[in-house]
Amino acid sequence: MRTQVAIIGAGPAGLLLGQLLHVAGIDTIILERRSGDYVLSRIRAGVLEQGTVALLEQAGVAARLHAEGLRHDGFNLAYDGARHRIDLAGLTGGRHVTIYGQTEMTRDLMQARAACGAPSLYEAAEVHLADFDSAHPRVTCLFEGQRIEIACDFIAGCDGSHGVSHASLPAAALSLHERHYPFGWLGVMADVAPVSDELVYASHERGFALCSMRSAHRSRYYLQCPLGTEIADWPDARFWDELRQRLDPQTAAALVDAPSIEKSIAPLRSFVAEPMRFGSLFLAGDAAHIVPPTGAKGLNLAASDVHYLAEGLIGHYREGRASGLEAYSQRALARVWKAERFSWWMTSLLHQFPDSSPFDRKIQAAERAYLAGSRAAMAALAENYVGLPF
């Protein structure tokens, strides 16, 4: 088999790249380790920046997003018994975010890809990248019992943090930067009206909590939990009780318990692998970087990487221009590091750190109080939350 760009991974990064390249007349083959149903069953992000929405429009897959996505002009911080609204629109000259589940975005992209007949090999095993230090890279895999080889011009490594792409690179070619946080997030999905029209990020001495949503009838809630927490230790009743304790009284009073339809735990981590290009192999999305979810940046960073990469590839094929691909790693990383900083900062501001000193906790509380009373501080938060320009 032969294609122009072999894409490893059918998460949002791989699928979005495939669709943008398809619209530009560039051929791709996607290889995905899991089944399509499995990919769709992973509950993850829910907040899209305007730049991400614009890319979905460019890819021709934004119709349902525009019909069903929820526009949010602000969100709330809750601590010390009160709610503090961050007026995103008012603080950023009218910008907003859109609530639309990563699963829904993935479903739209999968359907568009199927409709245009572009090949995707789901349940591809033993994916192996070869010769990507040359202009003739290859990808091999085991698909439906057969060994397949794909010759291509470029490989896009969009296979997430546990993928094969960055693991294929010689250790000496990469600098790895990493921070582990001493807690995770326990997430619950429930078919019940959200507790508030806008998201609530709560910081409490019992730990962080987040009230999010997927629609007017589906809520998504998270609790900070210690590492090693087991889902079995968190029957629904305990989850709702703990969430209620961490919220301000106004929000707590409005919270309605409902049976969970999904429950999962994710540890929090910051990670960057640089550079994001090695010869003919380009890394994009979680394959190159991870942020803790507090700033809602992971999926949006995957989209901005894809924007830079698609632009580079389109410049290469349409105009024979190498400059976009040559600049890819540097352009993507400049934005990645700002989102890394913001995600680390928001995580540090709102979570309880088990090894913090009384001094650390006083400083943290002072920063929250400053934020609640300073328009300049709120504007810096809002500008990052809606997404920095590409």
Contact residues for ligand RFL, defined by CB under 6 A: 8-14, 31-34, 39, 44-47, 102, 124, 127, 158-160, 162-164, 185, 187, 266, 285-286, 293, 296-300, 302
Concerning whether 162 is annotated as a catalytic residue, the answer is no
Nearer to ligand PHB, 239 or 317 (CB): 239
Least spacing, CB of residue 291 vs ligand PHB, in Å: 10
Least spacing, CB of residue 279 vs ligand RFL, in Å: 19
Select from 65, 110, 150, 296 the one that contacts ligand PHB (CB under 6 A): 296
**By the 8 A CB rule, do 138 and 31 touch?**
no
Q: Which does 7 bind (CB under 5 to 8 A by kind): ligand PHB, ligand RFL, none?
A: none
Concerning whether 297 is annotated as a catalytic residue, the answer is yes
Q: Which stretch binds ligand PHB (CB under 6 A): 19-27, 43-51, 317-325, 356-364?
A: 43-51
- Please identify which of the residues 22, 84, 289, 297 carries the catalytic annotation: 297
Q: Is 77 an interacting residue with respect to ligand PHB (CB under 6 A)?
A: no
Nearer to ligand PHB, 47 or 195 (CB): 47
Q: Is 98 an interacting residue with respect to ligand PHB (CB under 6 A)?
A: no
Nearer to ligand RFL, 111 or 363 (CB): 111
Q: Is 69 an interacting residue with respect to ligand PHB (CB under 6 A)?
A: no
- Please identify which of the residues 201, 221, 222, 308 carries the catalytic annotation: 201
In three state form, how does the secondary structure of the chain look? CECCEEEECCCHHHHHHHHHHHHCCCCEEEECCCCHHHHHHCCCCCEEEHHHHHHHHHCCCCHHHHHHCEEECCEEEEECCEEEEECHHHHCCCCCEEECCHHHHHHHHHHHHHHHCCCEECCCEEEEEECCCCCCCEEEEEECCEEEEEECCEEEECCCCCCCHHHHCCHHHCEEEEEEEEEEEEEEEECCCCCCCCCEEEEECCEEEEEEECCCCCEEEEEEEECCCCHHHCCHHHHHHHHHHHCCHHHHHHCCCCCEEEEEEEEEEEEEEECCEECCEEECHHHCEECCHHHCCHHHHHHHHHHHHHHHHHHHHHHCCCHHHHHHHHHHHHHHHHHHHHHHHHHHHHCCCCCCCHHHHHHHHHHHHHHHHCHHHHHHHHHHHHCCCC
- Please identify which of the residues 79, 100, 181, 385 carries the catalytic annotation: 385
Concerning whether 221 is annotated as a catalytic residue, the answer is no
Q: Which does 242 bind (CB under 5 to 8 A by kind): ligand RFL, ligand PHB, none?
A: none
Concerning whether 263 is annotated as a catalytic residue, the answer is no
Q: Which does 220 bind (CB under 5 to 8 A by kind): ligand PHB, ligand RFL, none?
A: ligand PHB
Least spacing, CB of residue 270 vs ligand RFL, in Å: 12
Q: Which does 219 bind (CB under 5 to 8 A by kind): ligand RFL, ligand PHB, none?
A: none
Select from 92, 98, 212, 347 the one that contacts ligand PHB (CB under 6 A): 212
Concerning whether 385 is annotated as a catalytic residue, the answer is yes
Report the alpha-carbon distance of residue 226 to residue 76 in Å, rounded: 24
Task: Name which of 53, 47, 52, 85 is nearest 66 in CA terms.
Answer: 53
Q: Which does 13 bind (CB under 5 to 8 A by kind): ligand PHB, ligand RFL, none?
A: ligand RFL
Q: Which residues are catalytic?
A: 72, 201, 293, 297, 385
